Structure formats: C-alpha cells, structure tokens
Amino acid sequence: MTLKNRFIFTAALLYAAMGVLAWQLLTYNKWMFVAAEALILVSLVLTVRLYTAFVRPLNLIAAGVESIKDRDFSIKFLKTGQKEVDQLISVYNQMMDELRQERVVQTEKHFLLERLIEASPSGIILLDTHDRVAGLNPAAAGLLQTSGKDVIGKPMTELPQHWGDSLSKLPKDEQRVIRPNGIQTYRCRKIRFLDRGYHRYFILVEELTQELLEKERNAYEKLIRMMSHEINNSIGAVNSILHSFSYFSPQLNEDTRPDFDEALQVCITRNQNLAGFMANFANVVRIPPPVKHATDLHQLLHSIHRLMLPSFERKQVTWEWELAEQIESVGLDVQQMEQVLINVVKNALEATEAGGWVNVKTVANPPQLLIQDNGKPISPEVQEKLFSPFFSTKANGQGIGLTMVREILLHHGFPFSLQTHADGITTFAIEFQS
C-alpha cells in the first residue's frame, strides 16, 4: 500500500469514528450534534488541504524520478509558495542543473576522445572484459588490413595474419616491440583502464619501422665499414707475404715442394673468399638510389626463368607460370630488381623439396607479383626475424640476401610481404607502385 493510500485509509477511519460519536450526540443534545458536525466539516477541509500539501511533494518526487530515469535533465519545477515544497523544488532544480552540466561536459569529453582516437596515427584496439576485440580505430584497422567489423567480438588469437599470435601474448601493463611479418616493427602496450567499475584493457600499437630501420642501417653500415677496412688491410698484407713465400718454392726439395705450394694456395684462396665475403656485406649498405625505367615485367621474369632453369632441373622442382594476359609497364631499376627476383626465387627453390613447385603469378590491377612455393613453411619465430641483418636459417647463410631485398624494395617504394598462409603455401608478394 502506498503512502497516499495509507493516509486516505487512516483519515477515513478517523472520520468514521467521529461520525459515529456525533450521531450519539443527536439523541443527547441537538446543538452539540450541530457543533460536532460543523467541527467535522472544518477538519475535513483542513485535512483535504493537508492532503494536497502532503501529496504535491510526492508527485514532484515521482515526476523527478521519471525524468531522471529517462535521462531528461531539462525538466524543472516552479515554486508553489509553500516553504517546505519550495525548498524541495530548489534542491531538485539545482540537482538537475548540475546533472545537465555534467552530462554536457562528459559528452564533450567523450566526443573529443572519440575524435582523438579516430585521428590517432597509432593503432588502438579496445578489449572487453573477456579480452575480446570491442572496437578499433582506423589506424588499427589499416594495420590489421581489415574493415574492423570482421574482428569485433573475436578473441585476440583470431586476429588476421600474424597479429593474433603476437598480440595475444602481450603481457598486461607492459610494452613490447614486435615484428609480426618480419618487415614492419611495432611497439605495443597493453594498458588498463576502468570502465563502469570493471577493469578493461586497450592495446596501443605504434609503428617504429622507419625510425628503427634508419638506426639499424646506420649501425650495421658503421660496423661493416670498420670490419671491411680492418679485414681488407690485413688480407692485402697477408696475401703479399704469401705471394712472397712462393719465390722460395724452387729452393725446397721435391718431396716438400707440393705440400708447400698447396698450403700457400689454400691460404691465398681463403683470403680471397674472405674478401668476397666482406664485399657482399659492404654492397648491402652501398645500394645506390634506384634509376627507374618503364619495364616489361613479364620479359624480366622470363629472363630470370632462363637463368634459374638449370637449378630447377637439377633439384627436380617445377617452375609454374600464372601470368596476367596484359599488364602495364612498371617503373623500376632493372639491375636492382633482378637481384631481388634472383634472391626470392632462389630462396623459394631452396625451401622446396624434389617434386615440389614454385609458382610465379602476376596480377594486372594493381600490378602485383606473387612468387609462391609449397616448400617448408615459415614458423612464427622465424617470421619475426626474416629481414633482420645477418639472420639466416641456412647452415652457411650470411643473412644478407633478404636484407638486400628489403633495402632495394624500400628504396623503390614497393610494399612487400613474405609469409606462409593457412594452406601451407609460402608467398612473397610485391606490389608495384608508381
């Protein structure tokens, strides 16, 4: 029973009792009965007024509660002239003003935050309380190469490409540098924030590729130049001494002369190989800016095919073609691009067992080249280090092939990638841009 109904019920009982008592006075004294009836009427008027004054604040409170439930902070009440009710109205109106102002401030802050997140060059991935993707800004969608709607509600492990494996292992409240595709470098931080009383996280992804590449390039350029200078100086002096020793060969007896000549030749050859080894490293940091000319990509690929065909035949690996019918000329430095294609095709051949295949595919619009193989897949651990200087999975590898490929393609401004897809096919993709 509501408070109003209880008041009416109590008043009704009281007036019923007063009516019974007044009726008893009728037989005793008519004038007292009339006086009692008049008193009852006066008290009834006062009770009605009291009820009205009592109910009005309740109605105001009910109306205020409904407006707050509807989140409508624009409703205000006028004063009635009753002191107690006017105090209640004043408090209510002040509260509504403060709520309205707070909502305006919060809306402005929320709008500003949304614009900042949307315009941020860094990728921002919002997570829900179960570490599923709740939202992401355009920069993050670009990094993940997705529309955003495709990953909303999915766990971190299901993010496309190698992002899922890298970001799902990111420690909370810490930052880590990752290279999900072995080319670009990113600094990732998993940061906690409080949302409606619950702890949630977002991941901030900042690209460091150009900055780190420049530092990396300067570091190994200085290292290679220093090593090349010291080693070449030593090799020159040692070879000069070794050639001088050859003049003593005729003075030796017939039994020891062949061993002496062979030992000298081994030392000279080893020094020459060491000089060539350093020259290969030095060439990586001496790559000149590309001189681009309009080039027939298919003609360039056929020349690489003729060069590599004997190696394919020896290993019994099939070279497959899947060329676009027509493709526009591509602006590139032919000599440098030959080095790229030879290295990429050679790596694909070395990863493929006998009986396997290497597929060379072109796409017309936009011009793209895909070199695919069904050889040994690239593991996630190797993927992050593929294009790092001096890193190689080969027993005798120098780790400069893919580094040189990376430098040439970056100088050309051609986006590229190397990864093994879910079907086990490894693809080196190059997108040619003007």
**pLDDT value at residue 154:** 84
Domain-wise residue ranges, the chain: 3-72, 120-207, 211-284, 293-431
φ and ψ of 372, to 5 deg: -115, 150
Q: Are 395 and 357 in contact (CB under 8 A)?
A: no
**pLDDT value at residue 321:** 93
**pLDDT value at residue 122:** 82
**pLDDT value at residue 124:** 85
CATH number of 120-207: 3.30.450.20
**pLDDT value at residue 394:** 67
Tens digits of per-residue pLDDT, 288-314? 788 888 999 999 999 889 888 889 999
Torsion of Cα atoms, 82 then 87 then 92 then 97, to 10°: 110
Tens digits of per-residue pLDDT, 350-363? 889 999 999 999 99
For each successive 10 residues of the chain (434 residues), what is the average pLDDT? 69 75 70 74 76 66 71 70 72 80 79 78 83 84 78 82 77 77 76 77 78 64 66 72 74 75 76 68 69 90 89 92 88 88 90 92 90 88 71 62 82 87 89 81
**pLDDT value at residue 113:** 74
**pLDDT value at residue 399:** 59
CATH class of segment(s) 293-431: alpha beta
